[in-house]
């Protein structure tokens, strides 16, 4: 079988595999010719598009091979070390490096002078080695000279303290001085390196995030508000400023809602409408920084892919809005030792969902982190399995932070491909090399293949902010944790999920799950009603339908705009302290615990699926289902424990006729599918402690990693991975 696969690869056979997919659209256009690197197959190179034959979906892929490498900081090392790095990386099948992430002070030693000599040598070396270079713009950490000369470039924090030089991710996004120098640097870099065919991707700044509350930001906030509201009256109304006599009469009376202003502790605020707007504004301000650098680069480099590295469920930025400005989504995956695999899977699905396209894994550690309280080593096989999980959920690159471990400062104990010993005989390097060899063997096989789902979960940053700003009913209401509870239901059953924005096309799905849909924005009621009328199944929960986009309550009874389609009225919301629980009882007498909040509901056409067992609202409905048009709406009025939630979700999923990606019911293995041009790739992964049996329906089909067909009854060991290729017509 291995021989057969190799033969197919040589001919661009069944799955159109080539051993080394190194042709790149960008390069061809830039050079006018195809680059003649060692293994390029002229003419029979990979197709530009991977088609999903089943439903005719096509997906462009940005890269011609799986980028495998990561952050590389040779500038921290004497140049003698670089050649040794290249030797080790070559043996480890590393083909990509992200450089210049934090080198602003080095490449611009003063206001008047750029000094690119060292970066030139790094880029030349990597180009000679035929790397796919991810070139960062270095604007993620300010140079000391700038902070000294222009203190305004530093941020003012939530407590109102202007920061001094230090750390990173520290620039005020609305500082004209910062903007001027950041844009100039991006332009200089693009002018100098934009035509280098080995630059495969631009990486702007680094992990954009954080906030600033300085005078420049306050002024920019007022401009942003003026554009949004048009009049001061509209703003007063939106923020409900009659409350506590907060009416403002002039734009310059508005100040950022920080700890000195509307903030209540670090997390809450007296005026959620204002604080949510400040979050929107800050997300937009940082996005403007991104766009500014992107546009500078585009002046000199018309086509190379441009990205910045995101952070999964990071709260600060509205990533759906950001993704519209990015050529490809990339993100950094740093699970802790006890992060559930379902949570990591959800983050990948969210990152894929931002553009509905494959994404880049920009960073993960090959071994351990330094910034968690407990930085466990990845167990043997874990990094490999984690990497394949990433590819399974839509990644087209696997990159590490970092390639060589730093000698000093706070990341010196952060894992890296090359350890402090400098040895090429380490466990970590062996595992990196094994994975590198496998990915090289996969070539472009999986690139551009698509994840398809019948289920969608709504994820919305406005809701994330608004729910967690609410003062009452409970401090335990956590957005991401709630979304994850629902995601996990599907993950545990190998049912594919898309993570979608509030304004997605719901019609593509059989089932839409919108937990804690606290803020229902304009157009959403109509879109959800149309989806359900057309036969869709909607699941929503407590703390839904409560406020509009300004965080003002929909009057006339909860859950406001969802009331009619849910067929219920939630008259009151009880909050349960951590020491308290209630119980819900299903029609067949099954019981499940519930906590955090309990909606006290009246039926308005819906049927009750479960009711509360105790307290003064015993007997009132806790979970309901309403037939609406051709579809139905499930409303879950309390936080159910897993067993209870499963009962409701089983019924909803069965009604929606959604099924797992393989016929067998799940046994603990994760099975995730990407559909390629001619075959579907079933990524089967074992994250459990015991060996588990492979799904029988995959028996007889080849595992791309070994070339061997899956055997009937075969077991997959812990951290084992199979990528089973099943022709699409099957
Ligand atoms: C982030 C940053 C990197 C590095 C890693 C360490 O992802 O982007 O520069 O600090 O964390 O885990
Ligand atoms: Zn500022």
Mutate to test the pocket of ligand 1, among 103, 203, 369, 411 (most ligand atoms within 8 A of CB): 411
Tens digits of per-residue pLDDT, 39-51?
222 222 223 333 3
Model pTM? 0.93
Average pLDDT (79-94) is 98
CA gap 452, 568 in Å, rounded: 33
Task: Look up residue 102 and give its two tokens.
Answer: 């934090």
pLDDT band at 27 (very low <50, low <70, confident <90, very high): very low
Contacts of 475 (CB under 8 A, 6+ apart): none
Q: Is the CB of 414 under 6 A from ligand 1?
A: yes
Q: What is the DSSP letter of 694?
A: P
pLDDT digits (tens, 9 = 90+) for 110-150: 999 999 999 999 999 999 999 999 999 999 999 999 999 99
Between the alpha carbon of residue 431 and those of residues 532, 665, 700, the distances in Å are 48, 32, 28
206 in contact with ligand 1, CB cutoff 6 A: yes
Catalytic residue among 152, 154, 207, 670: 207
Pocket test for ligand 1, best of 167, 307, 335, 363 (most atoms within 8 A of CB): 363
The DSSP bridge pattern shows strands 96-99 and 497-500 to be unpaired
Distance CA 548, CA 315 (A): 20
Residue 332 in contact with ligand 1 by CB distance below 6 A: yes
Whole-number pLDDT of residue 629: 98
Pick the residue whose CA is nearest to atom 4 on ligand 1: 401
CA 369 / ligand 1 centre spacing (Å): 9
What mean pLDDT do residues 437-452 have? 95
- d(Cα 116, Cα 627) in Å, to the nearest integer? 66
Ligand nearest the Cα of residue 155 is 2
363 is a catalytic site residue: yes
Checking if the pLDDT of 38 tops 70, the result is: no
Q: What is the pLDDT of residues 493-525, one digit of tens each?
A: 999 999 999 999 999 999 999 999 999 999 999
- Rounded Cα gap, residues 27 and 195, in angstroms: 9
Cα-Cα-Cα-Cα torsion 333, 199, 285, 552, nearest 10 degrees, comes to: -50
What CA–CA distance (Å, rounded) separates 706 from 696?
18
In this prediction, what percent of the chain has a pLDDT beyond 90?
A: 91
The residues pairing with 540 across neighbouring beta strands, listed in sequence order, are 514, 635
586 dihedral zone (left: phi>0; alpha: psi -120 to 50; beta): beta
Q: Which residues sit opposite 332 in a β-bridge?
A: 363
Which ligand ends up closest to the CA of 219? 2
- pLDDT per residue as tens digits for the range 624-644: 999 999 999 999 999 999 999
Marked catalytic residue, from 152, 154, 262, 363: 363
Give the C-alpha distances (Å, rounded to integers) separating 510 from 257, 315, 364, 533.
41, 29, 34, 12
CB within 8 Å of 483: residues ≥ 6 apart:
346, 457, 459, 515, 516
For residue 56, pLDDT beyond 80: no
Taking CA atoms only, the protein residue closest to ligand 1 atom 3 is 401
Predicted confidence band of residue 730 (pLDDT cuts 50, 70, 90): low
- Whole-number Å distance between alpha carbons of 22 and 446: 14
Categorize the per-residue pLDDT at 13 as very low, low, confident or very high, splitting at 50, 70 and 90: very low
Separation between Cα atoms, residue 566 and residue 624, nearest integer Å = 8
State yes or no: pLDDT of 15 exceeds 70. Answer: no
pLDDT at 61: 84
* Residue keyed to tokens 């309901």: 624
The answer to whether 690 is a known catalytic residue is no
Atom of ligand 1 nearest to the CA of 101: 9
Distance 305 CA to ligand 1 centre (A): 21
Report whether pLDDT(363) > 50.
Answer: yes
The closest residue, in CA terms, to atom 10 on ligand 1 is 411
Cβ–ligand 1 contact at 207 (below 6 Å): yes
Kindly report the protein residue whose alpha carbon is nearest to atom 12 of ligand 1.
369
Ligand (nearest to CA of 399): 1
Rounded to an integer, what is the distance from CA 245 to the centroid of its chain? Answer: 41
């Amino acid at each position: 079988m291995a021989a057969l696969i190799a033969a197919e690869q040589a001919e661009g056979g069944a799955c159109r595999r080539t051993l080394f997919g190194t042709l790149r659209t960008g390069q061809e256009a830039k050079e006018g010719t195809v680059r003649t690197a060692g293994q390029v197959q002229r003419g029979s190179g990979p197709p530009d598009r991977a088609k999903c034959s089943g439903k005719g979906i096509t997906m462009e892929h940005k890269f011609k091979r799986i980028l495998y490498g990561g952050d590389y900081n040779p500038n921290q090392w004497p140049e003698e070390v670089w050649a040794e790095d290249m030797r080790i990386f070559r043996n480890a099948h590393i083909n990509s490096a992200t450089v210049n992430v934090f080198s602003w002070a080095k490449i611009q030693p003063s206001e008047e002078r750029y000094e690119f000599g060292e970066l030139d040598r790094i880029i030349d070396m990597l180009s000679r080695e035929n790397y796919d270079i991810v070139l960062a713009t270095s604007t993620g950490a300010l140079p000391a000279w700038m902070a000294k000369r222009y203190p305004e470039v530093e941020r003012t924090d939530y407590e109102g303290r202007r920061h001094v030089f230090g750390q990173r991710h520290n620039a005020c996004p609305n500082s004209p001085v910062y903007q001027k120098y950041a844009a100039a640097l991006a332009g200089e870099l693009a002018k100098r390196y934009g035509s280098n065919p080995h630059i495969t991707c631009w990486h702007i700044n680094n992990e954009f995030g954080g906030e600033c509350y300085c005078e420049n930001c306050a002024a920019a906030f007022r401009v942003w508000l003026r554009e949004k509201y048009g009049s001061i009256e509209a703003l007063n109304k939106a923020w409900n400023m009659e409350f506590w006599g907060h009416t403002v009469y002039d734009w310059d009376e508005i100040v950022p809602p920080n700890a000195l202003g509307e903030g209540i502790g670090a997390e809450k605020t007296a005026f959620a409408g204002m604080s949510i707007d400040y979050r929107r504004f800050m997300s937009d301000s940082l996005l403007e920084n991104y766009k500014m650098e992107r546009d500078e680069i585009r002046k000199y480099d018309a086509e190379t892919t441009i990205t910045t590295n995101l952070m999964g469920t990071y709260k600060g930025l509205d990533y759906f809005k950001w993704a519209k400005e990015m050529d490809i989504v990339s993100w950094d995956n740093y699970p802790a030792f006890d992060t559930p695999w379902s949570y990591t899977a959800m983050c990948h699905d969210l990152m894929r969902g931002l553009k509905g396209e494959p994404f880049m894994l920009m960073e993960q550690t090959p071994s351990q982190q330094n910034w968690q309280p407990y930085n466990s080593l990845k167990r043997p096989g874990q990094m490999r399995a984690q990497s394949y999980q990433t590819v399974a959920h839509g990644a087209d690159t696997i990159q590490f932070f970092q390639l060589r471990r730093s000698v000093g400062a706070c990341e010196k104990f952060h894992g890296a491909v090359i350890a402090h010993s400098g040895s090429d005989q380490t466990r970590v390097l062996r595992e990196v090399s094994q994975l590198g060899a496998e990915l090289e063997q996969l070539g472009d096989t999986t690139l551009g293949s698509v994840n398809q789902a019948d289920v969608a979960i709504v994820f919305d940053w406005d809701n994330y902010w608004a729910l967690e700003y609410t003062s009452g009913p409970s401090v335990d209401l956590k957005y991401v944790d709630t979304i994850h509870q629902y995601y996990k239901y599907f993950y545990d059953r190998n049912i594919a999920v898309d993570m979608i924005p509030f304004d997605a096309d719901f019609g593509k799905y059989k089932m839409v799950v919108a937990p804690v849909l606290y803020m229902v924005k304009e157009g959403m009621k109509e879109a959800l009603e149309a989806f359900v009328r057309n036969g869709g199944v909607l699941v929503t929960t407590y703390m839904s339908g409560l406020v509009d986009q300004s965080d003002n309550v929909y009057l006339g009874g909860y859950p406001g705009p969802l009331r009619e389609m849910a067929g219920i009225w939630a008259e009151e919301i009880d909050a349960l302290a951590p020491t308290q629980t209630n119980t819900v009882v299903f029609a067949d007498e099954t019981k499940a615990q519930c906590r955090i909040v309990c909606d006290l509901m009246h039926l308005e056409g819906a049927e009750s699926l479960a009711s509360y067992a105790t307290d003064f609202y015993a007997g009132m409905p806790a979970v309901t289902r309403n037939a609406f048009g051709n579809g139905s709406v499930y409303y879950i009025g309390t936080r159910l424990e897993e067993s209870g939630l499963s009962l409701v979700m089983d019924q909803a999923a069965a009604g929606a006729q959604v099924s797992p990606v393989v016929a067998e019911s799940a046994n603990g293995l994760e099975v995730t599918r990407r559909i390629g041009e001619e075959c579907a790739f079933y990524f089967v992964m074992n994250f459990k402690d015991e060996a588990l049996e492979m799904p029988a329906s995959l028996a007889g089909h080849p595992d791309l990693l070994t070339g061997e067909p899956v055997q009937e009854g075969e077991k997959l060991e812990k951290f084992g991975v199979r990528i089973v290729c099943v022709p699409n017509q099957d």
